[in-house]
Structure 1
Amino acid sequence: MHFQLLETENLLLRKIAPEVYHFLFNSQSDEEIKSFLGLETDEQFAKEKDKFSKGMATYNRSFVNFQIIDKKTSLIIGACGFHTWYFEHNRAEIGYNLNSDDFKGKGIMSEAIKKVIQYGFEEMKLHRIEALISPNNEPSLRLVQKLGFVKEGHLRQHYFKNNVMEDSLFLPC
């Protein structure tokens, strides 16, 4: 299977879309899937398999994600992309994570998000990219604001996380 790659100075961003998941889960072994997706535990694998089995895209909504790969080591160090892409409205919600705290504070996510935002506007023809972030997640808030996102709203009890309803700040770009 051919995978689209975006490149930055220090990173490769490998595109993962619904068709990749279909290919992986219908033709590869569990170990091959874990290796390709950079999943380290059986729990992480079970979560991805569950998401796939429940359907990751619908007639009006999908996702485009990019694995963040360190050019020097070829190690998958995180992910960044659009997990809620509404075709009809030309908007998507951005999400991102690093696999280890060891990678934080090094500018990796800034470098990756810039390229993914560019891809969203130019290739996906998005009109709006939205970030929903906990008010307590100051590093993430600083990151997106540095990249041009502006606070537009406060959604009360918006996400259920760790058995608690959490608020989200709404920041579009």
Structure 2
Amino acid sequence: MIKNLLKGSNVFLTSFKEEHLNYLEKWYNDILFLRNFDVTAAFPKSLEELKSIIKNSKESSDKFIFAVNSIRQNKIIGITGFENILWNNGTATIYIGIGDDDFRGHGIGQESLYLTMEFGFQELNFHRIQLTVLSYNTPAIKLYEKLGFKKEGTYREFIHRDGIRYDMYLYGILRSEWKLNTKY
């Protein structure tokens, strides 16, 4: 039987559509979201800037972007995908951001990230998936470790926020480790 790789019990992943942009703009104007999602300055972005980012992602050969949608509410609640894909090496950097506050802390991120990983390993034939996370983002670190990512390194004092320097961690998972950790 063929499995729907992009659908779980609570969320499904779709292409990022024009109607999703208003949600993305709201999240990109939420400084707390930005400070966990990105390492650049948490500067709000306009609708036009976001359109350009999404267009660039869709036209690129080394990026994939998905909208994370709630099955029950049938609305976008986050984004996930891959960037920095090195096809010849079978490696990619994964990312996720649950923008809707009501869906954080309920396992939605775990299911969404698992579906993204499954797509990467099963459909795109990746050998390795990696990510970076800031040391103060403990909920994300717990999620990544729960899904089998291994801490591989530390970029010491990588980012400056609120007068404090924070480390950024590098995590990775190999296809063989993911197969052992399959939960869904």
What is the TM-score when the length of structure 1 is the normalising length? 0.74
- Change in Cα spacing, 1:56 to 1:65, as seen in structure 2 (3 Å) is closer
SS in 1 for 2:124: coil
Provide the rounded CA distance (Å) in 2 between the counterparts of 1:45 and 1:164.
31
* 1:134-164 Cα deviation digits (max 9, x unpaired): 1111110000000000111001354677898
Asked if 2 retains the 8 angstrom alpha-carbon contact of 1:69 and 1:78, the reply is yes
* 1:58-102 Cα deviation digits (max 9, x unpaired): 98x611121111111111000111122122221111110111222
Deviation of 1:124 after TM superposition, in Å, equals: 0.8
Asked if 1 retains the 8 angstrom alpha-carbon contact of 2:57 and 2:65, the reply is no
* 1:14-51 Cα deviation digits (max 9, x unpaired): 034xxxxxxx7xxxxxxxx2x24443459442332342
Asked if 1 retains the 8 angstrom alpha-carbon contact of 2:90 and 2:128, the reply is yes
The reply on whether 1:39 has 2:24 as its aligned counterpart is yes
Residue matched to 1:130 = 130
Amino acid of the structure 2 residue aligned with 1:112: S
The reply on whether 1:49 has 2:34 as its aligned counterpart is no
Of all paired residues, the percent bearing the same amino acid is: 27
Return 5+ residue gaps in structure 2 as ranges.
30-44, 174-184
SS in 2 for 1:170: strand
The reply on whether 1:120 has 2:120 as its aligned counterpart is yes
Return 5+ residue gaps in structure 1 as ranges.
17-23, 25-32
Query: Displaced runs of 4+ in structure 1, greater than 4 A?
Result: 157-166
Provide the rounded CA distance (Å) in 2 between the counterparts of 1:78 and 1:151.
24
